[in-house]
Chains A and B, each alone.
Chain A
Amino acid sequence: MAVEMLGYIEKPSPVHRLTGTTKLIGFLLWTTATMFTYDTRVLLILGFASIGLFLVSRIRFREVRFVLVFTALFVLINALAVYLFEPEQGVAIYGTRHVLFEGIGRFTLTAEQLFYLFNLILKYSVIVPVAVLFLVTTHPTEFASSLNRIGVPYKVAFAVSLALRYIPDVQQDFRTIADAQEARGVAVTHGPLLKRAKHSLNILLPLLFTSLERIETVSNAMDLRGFGAERKRTWYNQRPMTRADYLAIGLVFMLTIFSFVVTFYDGSRFYNPFS
């Protein structure tokens, strides 16, 4: 149960040194590029780039393993669901039909469908690591100031960053409470699933009360120090943009343009190896 998920992880890396604004813009561009394309070549390039970014950031796989494994599972379930609903979606898209296995009823297996699902999974594999990377390399308050800089009202931005900031604390609370439950012989982290689900309810109430207590104190502390008095605010942690920032934004921007050009030049978002 000892997982720290999505908290800021401090490391001396070029990715950490970029300002929050750069990372936010980069992340948004990256996501847009991947959202639009189903072009396998583009996805592969972006995928390799995201692995490269991970290496540069010095974040180790095991530090974010839980989230990555969890989302991977989710993506697989998603792919399975897509297959169950539309087993011949790939055929419709690519216009050819190479049957590998006739299967039962409508559930056939075609090369097109497999390729389509592969692309779908690839898409997530490109977005998710970058999203995780963005969260763990951006200091929560810098994240808030970046949101604010690109036009999000500061109260909203601050709320988001506070939520991020408290993730580790709430996790800590959760663990303590879960332990206190286990100490009474109430299994929460092992045992039959149904029982665990029932017992989780016993964690929610104490977690709710500790969180409410926390919220009350913090909101009092914020009020007492004048939060929200003005329409705008300044940010202690906001750093000036450096050449590296402009360079990074430029690179991601070009990558995005490139992916759009490759994706759309032949009028289809799909790369078709079957024709």
Chain B
Amino acid sequence: MTIQFDHFSFTYRSQSEPTLRNINLTIEDGERVLIVGPSGSGKSTLAQCINGLVPFSYPGTWEGDVRINGVDARTLSLFDRSALIGTVLQDPDTQFIGLSVGEDIAFALENKRVARPEMHETVERVARLTDVAHLLNHRLNDLSGGQRQRAALGGVLVEDANILLFDEPLANLDPLAGSEAMALLDRLQRETKRTLLVVEHRIEDVLSIPFDRMIVVVDGEIVADGHPDVILSDGSLVRAFLREPLYLSAARWADISIRPEDKPSQPDAFLNLFERQPIVSRLSEQMPEAPPEVSPSLELDRVRFHYRSEENVLEEITLRCAKGTLTTIVGQNGAGKSTLAKVLSGYQRATAGQIRLNGEDVTKQSIADRASRIGFVLQNPNHMISKHTVREEVRYGMQALTLSADEEERRLEETLRRCGLYPFRNWPIQALSFGQKKRVTIASILVRKPDVLILDEPTAGQDYRHYSDMMDFLERLKRDGMTLLIITHDMHLVLEYSDQVCLLQAGRIRFAGEPLTLFAQESLLRHAHLKQTSLFNVARHLDVEVQPFIHAVIQAERKERAQWL
């Protein structure tokens, strides 16, 4: 089955500019294609043109031609397409229709009026294929992220569609579940020879399995289309502000030229290009940094928490976070990360133990008092935004503080400028991008001048550029003396930005300390579903010390990013 775009452009009905421009693209039967691009580049729209959501659910102006197996795509309804193309949407949690695994997998079959005995047979067969057969009667809510992803995949596979389309399959997965998901896709594609289309911006993680082609979309246009080895060598990713695999950043830092024939998409092969001597001498030029002075800001002493009459969700949490430092909180889904944040910010009250802020016991404070000192930015900005414009929303954060009008106005302006929202202050919030909305929610907390700021996955679903913007912004806050806690799945973020990392597992702290010390303990990492980044492999391969090496690569990356603006 082939997909053909011919001089194709598309403009959403609500927009004046086309989201896709002059797309020429042919995808052959059985090909594995990776589509990458920054947020808002149109890569998801491209996927929607294939699965039919464009134009059937999102209408607009359609110019040029899209043909699926030679048939004009516009004549193939969503239902026709569902038999040809199986789509797994970005967030498996919100796309489940059934309550149990079996029921959700069966959904497409129910719609096709497949008789019950046959349906149960097919569901079981597919469930074995995606390794969820033992979970058929489980509620989807009770599964881990990786299991949910596999269940979602099952729901698509039942239809025998020839093309499998994944929109950011790794978005909500921890690192280990992510690589397992990719391995499963790899195996399925090999066994069934279907066409595999993956839209993702976590390029290194996706490339853990081989792809035939990589397509880079920027501003609605295809700017590069070729074998991953070619794309990774020719600088397309850097020009598109996308994050290349870390070992390639390391290579560029070490002045190793990246050529397609060196197979940069295969880290194991590529590692051999690194030579020890020049890197060791480069590293010796680095100056070690003095550790910053610390005074404790947030202290937790044997904090416990459980919901009504249930088992403890948090056990004996003891943690110290110094003023002006950034602590990352990592761990599997369900380890208690968000619960810890809620207990800290007063959303939930600790059942035992003590929480101290600048030496003062705040354990018993009400949510309103606590939250103005320990602010919590929720993962989904829509949960926090309740006003129409940016200005109103940020001002609303101060409404219980009874400030004078002058003071309110002053804080408002200062916060808006600090968060880079001043130019948008009168914009309706719903017109902002996801990253900007997130900033609005941070601003509405910052305006209360908290001592501690907790953020739940502040970079999730954001491309490299927005990710860096966000993290640079948070670093500035940190330098101004803010104590930050960040919940994340991103291991490189942990390495690059955190002064301390806290690993939670089943409600207990398994590790708290320097990131590099954690990453040195491989068995602990594996238990917690975490992974070392590829920079560790490079360092190990070269037999150089990890810390100065990673530090040097990070500095080089930062220098490069500084030129973006």
Contact = CB atoms under 8 A, between A and B. Distances in A.
Interface of A: 2, 8, 10, 139-141, 162, 165, 173, 176-177, 179-187, 202-203, 205-206, 209-210, 213-214, 217-230, 232-238
B371 A182 contact: yes
B98 A229 contact: no
B155 interface: yes
A249 to B, nearest CB: 21
Contact of A234 (B119, B396, B399): B119
A185 B368 CA distance: 4
Given A176-B383, A179-B367, A183-B376, A234 B345 contact: no
A184 B399 contact: yes
Contacts of A220: 53, 57, 89, 95
A186 B400 contact: yes
Interface stretch (B105-113, B405-413, B463-471): B105-113
B386 A229 contact: no
26 contacts: A141-B99, A180-B383, A182-B347, A182-B368, A185-B401, A186-B399, A209-B430, A219-B57, A221-B96, A221-B97, A223-B53, A223-B56, A223-B57, A224-B52, A224-B89, A225-B159, A227-B111, A229-B79, A229-B111, A230-B111, A232-B113, A234-B109, A234-B113, A234-B115, A236-B98, A236-B120
A203 B111 contact: no
A180 B382 contact: no
Interface size class of B (residues with CB under 8 A): 35 or more
A226 B113 contact: no
Nearest to A203: B386
B385 interface: yes
Q: Which 9 A-B pairs have the closest CB atoms?
A: A185-B400, A183-B371, A236-B106, A229-B79, A221-B95, A185-B368, A226-B82, A225-B108, A226-B111
Interface string B297-341: 000000000011000000000000000000000000000000000
A234 B371 contact: no
Given A225-B108, A230-B112, 11 more contacts: A184-B396, A185-B399, A202-B386, A202-B396, A223-B57, A224-B52, A224-B81, A226-B79, A233-B110, A236-B107, A236-B123
Contacts of B119: 234, 236
A179 B347 contact: yes
A226 B91 CA distance: 19
A206 B111 contact: no
Given A206-B382, A206-B383, A234-B114, A184 B97 contact: no
Nearest to A186: B400
Contacts of B113: 230, 232-234
A209 B102 CA distance: 30
Contacts of B376: 183
Contacts of B51: 224
A227 B110 CA distance: 9
Contacts of B156: 225
A180 to B, nearest CB: 5
B372 interface: yes
Contacts of A162: 97
Nearest to B402: A185
Nearest to A230: B113
B110 A224 contact: no
A227 B307 CA distance: 38
B109 A236 contact: yes
Contacts of B2: none
Contacts of B83: 226
Nearest to A238: B116
B110 to A, nearest CB: 5
B307 A2 contact: yes
B378 A218 contact: no
B384 A180 contact: yes
Nearest to A183: B371
Interface in B157-190: 159
Nearest to B367: A182
Contact of A225 (B91, B107, B139): B107
B380 interface: yes
A168 to B, nearest CB: 9
A194 B337 CA distance: 36
A206 B386 contact: yes
A233 B108 CA distance: 10
Nearest to A222: B97
Contacts of A219: 57
Given A209-B382, A222-B97, A234 B116 contact: yes
A88 B259 CA distance: 96
Contacts of B346: 183
Nearest to B53: A220
Contacts of B96: 221
A213 B107 CA distance: 21
Contacts of B149: none
B308 A2 contact: yes
Contacts of B368: 182-185, 187
A176 B376 CA distance: 12
B75 interface: no
B380 A165 contact: no
Nearest to A177: B383
Nearest to B58: A220
Given A206-B386, A220-B57, A222-B97, A184 B103 contact: no
B371 A210 contact: no
A87 to B, nearest CB: 44
B552 interface: no
A151 B519 CA distance: 60
A139 to B, nearest CB: 7
Contacts of B87: 224
Interface string B47-87: 00001110011000000000000000000001101110001
Nearest to B107: A225
B18 interface: no
A3 to B, nearest CB: 11
Contacts of B284: none
A182 B155 CA distance: 39
A155 to B, nearest CB: 11
A178 to B, nearest CB: 10
Nearest to A161: B99
Interface in B107-144: 107-116, 119-120, 123, 139
A210 B437 CA distance: 14
A184 B371 CA distance: 7
